[in-house]
Structure 1
Amino acid sequence: MSVNALVEKGILAEQKCGSNFAYTLLEDGLFLPTEYKVLRSQDDQCFLKCMKLTYNGQIQFYYLLEDYRSLAQMLPSLDADGLMVIVTNVLANMLQVKNNGFLSCQKLDLTFEHIYVDTNTYKVKLVYVPVNQGFYMDDASCENAFRTSLIKLIGTTQNLCNNKTIKFANSLSNALLSLQDLYETANTGEAFQPYGNTGVINAKTYPGMQPKTEGRRRSASSMQLVSLNAPNKIALAVDRSEYVIGKKADAVDGVLSFNKMISRIHCKIIQKDGQFFIEDLQSANGTYVNYEKLNPHSPRLLKNGDRIRLANSDFEAMID
């Protein structure tokens, strides 16, 4: 998986462009304008920004790295827990591509040299090449190649090997597990305590409000929003009819301060007639339910087990 198949075949040529890079299309008639338009229209920040240029009369795809570093560059200083967060984000992005309907995982460059990571948040951006030939024969080949590369990486890199990554490598070897299964496995590799030290600040207080003791929280909460790829496990206990979530401590009920991509006032959970809804509050980087982006101020009904993404942080809705 370390060799770019389209470069090897003479279909693409890679050029370094300062801190950025480009792929030049060496054959005519391979460019897919519809895929390029879809790629450019994506605002979920799943992909590295791509611009179509002309270079010596040939089509060139120019990719802007911004402040992202390649996974290959990060590996020497990365630990096992960090790797799992990054892999979880890669899998989430791959699922978004699969569920898009217009794009294909075959066109993703999943070499470690071209998986790009924000070193502060471990958010991932992928490289997509809008041509009518893929890096892989089909989506299954793409997934298998990525699995194989991860198994080899975990098995040969001491600083990336612990009980969690070893268990995950075993899951990668299980052909019965789908990409969705692997995503869920990556997020549930260690136990966590939904009550106790969650790292969550319940910021709003009102006159006469009773303290939220452990017993009171356990009995009163019928929904929790549980982190899946945060640096530390978090469980937000939704305990009021409108529960606002964001990173501004004096304006929300559940504070998520670990990720600068989450807006100060990001979204809210609404409890009504025994059901729960989530509403995006015009966040900068979006609120998603099962990888589908919500329109601002359009509440979406939640079910137990729904996957919720706030910017690039993933959570699971746990509803009693």
Structure 2
Amino acid sequence: MSDLSFESIVKTNTSESSISYILEDEKIFYEVGYKVLQNQEKYGLLKCGKLYQNGKIKLVYGISKYKPLGTLLSQISQQNFLFVVSRIYDIARHVEENGFLRCENIETTIDRIFVDTEDLSVYLVCLPISTVSIHQNTQLFYENLKQVVLMAAKSFPGLKTSEVLKIIDSPKGEECSLNKEIKPKGSDETDTDGEPPVTPPQPLKGDYPDKTFGQKKKGILSNLFSRKKSGENTGASGSKSIELVSTNTKDEIRFVINKPEFLIGKYAGKVDGVIPNEKTISRIH
């Protein structure tokens, strides 16, 4: 197993609403890491969903609410870019300190760093896998991330490399001092030297709906279901659920998803949601 590369054992697919990873060998799935990722969004890690496709584990991350950093470089200011970079490194340091997740399993390509255009919150993809990893070790993770950030910084001709490196090379524990210089949206405090703060990040122009539990879950079944807005429901037990409505099926299909793992397939009794008369659907997904 150790001789296998990440690319050979993990297959990736990206759509407008989600990124999915199919594990060719379920032995690399890290159950503890998966459970930890269920409550890490507040720290900047996208929530991971788990499905089965043709008997293989499929990890899914909803991205419909966010934009890849690469597509925003021409739309955000230099100051906002520095704020985004500071958040990226805050997230990486959190993963190091977490103990159950590994930086080696964080995606670092420019199209896998996601930004909420409402407030410039940053979200990264961290895979709950073991034995194999995206980066060989933590040092290579930081080196690869550094190259991506410096390349992105070239989109801002007036930005000095030293300003970016100040964030990249800051020791652990200095996140707070950096964030005092690069303030989040809505801050009106003055800096320690009495000068007014730098311009806070501003949301990009455009209409973006409020975040809801349902919207964060969308995209898991994007090939069969539309991205129609669905309401957020709360059952009698207090647990939240969402309703997905099909668009690319012969007959309309509705699913109420109210648990972390939701199996779909052709045969009732073996799955939570039945999709009949569809050639692309196997017995269990």
TM-score range with shorter-chain normalisation? Answer: 0.5 to 0.7
Match of 1:81 among 79, 82, 88: 79
2:89 is the alignment partner of 1:135: no
Query: Which letter maps to 1:168?
Result: E
Q: Which residue of 1 aligns with 2:171?
A: 178
Q: How many angstroms does 1:79 deviate by?
A: 2.2
Superposed CA deviations along residues 91-123 of structure 1, whole A, max 9, x for unmatched, are 111121111121111111121111111101000
Q: Which residue of 2 aligns with 1:68?
A: 66
Within a 5 Å distance, the mapping from 1:1-320 to structure 2 comes to 6=6, 9-42=7-40, 44-132=42-130, 133-154=132-153, 156-157=154-155, 160-163=156-159, 165-171=160-166, 177-178=170-171, 180-181=173-174, 183=175, 186-187=178-179, 228-231=182-185, 234-235=188-189
Q: How many angstroms does 1:64 deviate by?
A: 0.8
Partner of 1:167, secondary structure, is helix
CA distance in 2: counterparts of 1:43 and 1:17, whole angstroms: 20
Go from structure 1 to structure 2 and tell me whether the alpha carbon gap of 1:78 and 1:43 turns closer, same or farther (over 3 Å shift).
closer
Go from structure 1 to structure 2 and tell me whether the alpha carbon gap of 1:167 and 1:231 turns closer, same or farther (over 3 Å shift).
farther
Go from structure 1 to structure 2 and tell me whether the alpha carbon gap of 1:17 and 1:166 turns closer, same or farther (over 3 Å shift).
closer
Q: Which residue of 2 aligns with 1:207?
A: none
Superposed CA deviations along residues 50-105 of structure 1, whole A, max 9, x for unmatched, are 10111121111111114111111212222211111111111111121111121111
CA distance in 1: counterparts of 2:177 and 2:161, whole angstroms: 12
Query: Which letter maps to 2:106?
Result: L
Query: Which letter maps to 2:136?
Result: M
Q: How many angstroms does 1:172 deviate by?
A: 6.5
Query: Which letter maps to 2:144?
Result: A
Partner of 2:60, secondary structure, is strand
Query: Which letter maps to 1:167?
Result: S
Q: Which residue of 2 aligns with 1:301?
A: none
CA distance in 2: counterparts of 1:29 and 1:110, whole angstroms: 24
Go from structure 1 to structure 2 and tell me whether the alpha carbon gap of 1:49 and 1:236 turns closer, same or farther (over 3 Å shift).
same
CA distance in 2: counterparts of 1:173 and 1:49, whole angstroms: 25
Partners of 1:38 and 1:102 within 8 A in 2:
yes
Q: How many angstroms does 1:141 deviate by?
A: 1.5
Go from structure 1 to structure 2 and tell me whether the alpha carbon gap of 1:43 and 1:169 turns closer, same or farther (over 3 Å shift).
closer
CA distance in 2: counterparts of 1:34 and 1:168, whole angstroms: 38
Aligned-pair identity in percent equals 20
Go from structure 1 to structure 2 and tell me whether the alpha carbon gap of 1:229 and 1:188 turns closer, same or farther (over 3 Å shift).
closer
Partner of 1:148, secondary structure, is helix
Go from structure 1 to structure 2 and tell me whether the alpha carbon gap of 1:79 and 1:38 turns closer, same or farther (over 3 Å shift).
same
Task: Kindly tell me the number of residue pairs found equivalent between the two proteins.
Answer: 191
Partner of 2:118, secondary structure, is coil
Partners of 1:25 and 1:58 within 8 A in 2:
yes
Partner of 1:76, secondary structure, is coil
Q: How many angstroms does 1:167 deviate by?
A: 2.4
CA distance in 2: counterparts of 1:185 and 1:112, whole angstroms: 26
Q: How many angstroms does 1:33 deviate by?
A: 0.7
Q: Give the TM-score, by structure 1 length.
A: 0.52
Query: Which letter maps to 1:235?
Result: E
Partners of 1:49 and 1:64 within 8 A in 2:
yes
Q: Which residue of 1 aligns with 2:259?
A: none
Query: Which letter maps to 2:166?
Result: S
